[in-house]
Chains A and B, each alone.
Chain A
Amino acid sequence: MAIFVQALISGILIGGVYALIGIGLTIIFGVMRIINFAHGDILMIGMYATYYLFTLLHIDPFLSVVITIPLMFLFGAMLQKVFINRALDALPQNQILLTIGLGLIMSNSVMLAFTSDYKILTTRYSSSSVTILGISVSSPLAISFAITAAITAALYWFFLKTDTGQAIRATAQDREAARLMGINVRKMSTIAFGLGAALAGTAGALIAPTYYIFPQVGSIFTLKSFVITVLGGMGSVVGATLGGVLIGVAESIGGVYFGSGWKDVVVFTLFLLVLLFKPAGLLGKSRT
């Protein structure tokens, strides 16, 4: 039982970061109907940014989020303006290939610049732990969860209370209607992609202290982000939050009971079951 609770809690903590990744993907999908296959690679760039901010400028990885967020937002907005915007009317399959191509360019450019060596970011608190509800949890994980929760809360506030947030939601609901209501749909798309990239980059920054950093790390997270968003329902922010936590828990508990080698099979099987039997996701609306 103690093992189960331990697995559950660390699952929830990891799930917080997964939620950020998923929310980013779901915002991009919601506004543009594009599945961003470069999502994990954007996250990877966030990891590298954090790593070099730490090793070169000695900025704490969790503090550096303040720099990573605007940096990654600009990066995402640039991607949207230069590439994605030109393919908004292309076939969905071609949009997918475009983002796959962009992801390959990102991971291979990083490999060219920084080689494919594994990098590890070690802070002085990397191996320390805190006790939550009588269960000991590694500190980086706990801090990253707290930051995740704060960012998610800020995001909900942004979508519910601000004009821009509401305009983005309107664009996601019905692009044409939003345009007729005088919303600058193009600008909203740019902001949405920027936000998505910022969230992925932030997630990268938050896991940098607990994960190996290498150019191909993105593909793992790209796949994971699909599972998270499909589970919650494509385009639903609440769904992605829930999906992230669920996948974190499923992985963690699956790892304990099936062995860590099989935990991905557990996750992908869950994914296929949702696709087949509840394609709209747990909280999503109809697929069209």
Chain B
Amino acid sequence: MTPDSNAVYRARRISLASLTLAIGVLFLLPLFVESTYVLHLMILIFINTITGSSWNILGGYTGQYSVGHAAYFGAGAYTTMILLQYRHIAPWYGIWAGVVAALVTALIIGSICFRLRGPYFVLASIAVAEIFRVSVLNLKNITNGAEGILITEIPPLSSGGILITDWDSKVPFYFTGLVFALLVILVSWRVGRSKLGYYFQAIREDQDAAHSLGINPTIYKNIALSISAIFTSLAGSLYAVYVGFIDPGSVLSVELSVQIVMIGIIGGVGTILGPVVGAALLVPLSEGLRSNAIANLLIRAGIVDPESRAGAFLKENLGHAHVLIYGILVVIVILFMPEGLVGFVRRAVARRASR
């Protein structure tokens, strides 16, 4: 064995060990952390990891920048919530109906949008998602329109007479989110190293060349979209049941679609770690702004005087601007680190190592 491959094996063993450790810590976290706020943040990070990673399969691997992923998120959320609230079907059955709804949505959208390329695909994906949003808004007798759906109770989950959870705390949602997030990461990893993943990348790099080599772009784009839609729908259902309330503005808006894209872009397009890093960075930042934690921090650190006009203003308004951070970061990433944070750090590390 050459020393070179030795190093590779050691690096692989180290990364495998740290991965196992990280997953272990994540599974044990609820035992040690009492703070509901931390659990809440973690659940949001999981949900955003799921949406970011599933967007990444279509946008990152296959190069189809969909800015309409809210449609699949909303399809899952609405199906699960309608079944739960009006048909009293438990969410752990409902989410699979949500997946079916999202797949149907994906096939409709795919058959329309995949005829178009580049910026035209982006525009079409937005338009179709908007048609879905306006339709949900108007079909009041099914979806309750702009008022949205509020769930009153979730039936307890039991198996063989043994109560597993009554969904009273955040912990069951934490584990559901963690399992879904690990699942989508696993699928991304498997797809990335399979023939399917290479087909996706071939389409991303040069669709015509891929086609001439016998890869049917329409079929493989639809496969990528379907995988992507399944997981986005799971995230949507989880979000809906966790928050307990949905309306077209929260689960079907263009803003949501944009946020899903941003998670993938800021972390690093086409990498497995990218969406995870994006979610882990953006969620605490934007939640910190939203809950005024950052404004309070600035005041406590003595940077801003709470009695001054600026202090009062920050306390009053900074919470409303939590999306600002997405805008600033995406501009920085596109202009200065087009490979995203993961690529940027990786390159910086490599540069240091080679010196």
Q: Which segment, of A50-58, A104-112, A239-247, faces chain B?
A: A104-112
From B131, B320, B331, contact of A101 by CB (8 A): B331
A265, B139: Cα distance in complex, Å: 13
**B283 to A: closest C-beta gap in Å:** 16
A15 within 8 A of partner (CB): no
- Please name all residues of chain A whose beta carbon is closer than 8 Å to the beta carbon of B134 when the two chains form the complex: 261-262, 264-265, 268
B116 pairs with A275, CB closer than 8 A: yes
- Please name all residues of chain A whose beta carbon is closer than 8 Å to the beta carbon of B240 when the two chains form the complex: none
- Please name all residues of chain B whose beta carbon is closer than 8 Å to the beta carbon of A59 when the two chains form the complex: none
B157 within 8 A of partner (CB): no
A272, B320: Cα distance in complex, Å: 34
Interface of chain A, main secondary structure? helix
A90, B118: Cα distance in complex, Å: 13
B-contact 0/1 string along A88-117, CB 8 Å cutoff: 001011101110111111001101100110
A276 within 8 A of partner (CB): yes
Most buried by A among B126, B127, B255: B127
B148 within 8 A of partner (CB): no
Task: Using known A-B contacts A97-B261, A103-B327, A105-B327, determine if residue A90 contacts B115 with beta carbons closer than 8 Å.
Answer: no
Task: Using known A-B contacts A97-B330, A275-B123, determine if residue A111 contacts B321 with beta carbons closer than 8 Å.
Answer: yes
In the complex, the chain A residue whose C-beta lies closest to that of B59 is: A93
- Please name all residues of chain B whose beta carbon is closer than 8 Å to the beta carbon of A275 when the two chains form the complex: 116, 120, 123-124, 127
A230 within 8 A of partner (CB): yes
B118 pairs with A93, CB closer than 8 A: yes
- Please name all residues of chain B whose beta carbon is closer than 8 Å to the beta carbon of A90 when the two chains form the complex: 334, 338
B127 pairs with A272, CB closer than 8 A: yes
In the complex, the chain B residue whose C-beta lies closest to that of A219 is: B254
From A223, A265, A271, A276, contact of B254 by CB (8 A): A223
From A97, A108, A226, contact of B324 by CB (8 A): A108
A227, B262: Cα distance in complex, Å: 23
A223 pairs with B126, CB closer than 8 A: yes
**A281 to B: closest C-beta gap in Å:** 11
B317 within 8 A of partner (CB): yes
In the complex, the chain B residue whose C-beta lies closest to that of A109 is: B324
**A100 to B: closest C-beta gap in Å:** 6
**A17 to B: closest C-beta gap in Å:** 21
Chain B contact-residue range equals 35 or more
**B71 to A: closest C-beta gap in Å:** 13
A87 within 8 A of partner (CB): yes
- Please name all residues of chain B whose beta carbon is closer than 8 Å to the beta carbon of A226 when the two chains form the complex: 123, 126-127
From B120, B131, B318, contact of A279 by CB (8 A): B120
- Please name all residues of chain B whose beta carbon is closer than 8 Å to the beta carbon of A261 when the two chains form the complex: 134, 137-138
In the complex, the chain B residue whose C-beta lies closest to that of A29 is: B119
B331 pairs with A83, CB closer than 8 A: yes
- Please name all residues of chain B whose beta carbon is closer than 8 Å to the beta carbon of A276 when the two chains form the complex: 112, 115-116
Number of interface residues of A (CB under 8 A): 41
B90 within 8 A of partner (CB): no
- Please name all residues of chain B whose beta carbon is closer than 8 Å to the beta carbon of A259 when the two chains form the complex: 138
A112, B138: Cα distance in complex, Å: 32
B348 within 8 A of partner (CB): no
B65 pairs with A93, CB closer than 8 A: yes
- Within 65-96 of A, Cβ neighbours of B (below 8 Å) are at 83, 86-87, 90, 92-94, 96
A279, B119: Cα distance in complex, Å: 12
Q: Can you report 17 A-B residue pairs in the complex whose CB atoms are below 8 A from each other?
A: A87-B334, A87-B335, A90-B338, A96-B67, A98-B331, A101-B328, A102-B327, A105-B324, A105-B331, A226-B127, A230-B120, A262-B134, A264-B134, A265-B131, A268-B130, A272-B112, A275-B127
B318 pairs with A112, CB closer than 8 A: yes
B323 within 8 A of partner (CB): yes
A100 pairs with B258, CB closer than 8 A: yes
B255 pairs with A219, CB closer than 8 A: yes
Most buried by B among A101, A111, A275: A101
B265 within 8 A of partner (CB): yes
- Please name all residues of chain B whose beta carbon is closer than 8 Å to the beta carbon of A162 when the two chains form the complex: none
A168 within 8 A of partner (CB): no
B124 pairs with A272, CB closer than 8 A: yes
A115, B328: Cα distance in complex, Å: 19
A272 pairs with B255, CB closer than 8 A: no
A98 pairs with B330, CB closer than 8 A: yes
B65 pairs with A112, CB closer than 8 A: no
A223 pairs with B130, CB closer than 8 A: yes
B128 within 8 A of partner (CB): yes
A13 within 8 A of partner (CB): no
From A98, A219, A223, A264, contact of B334 by CB (8 A): A98
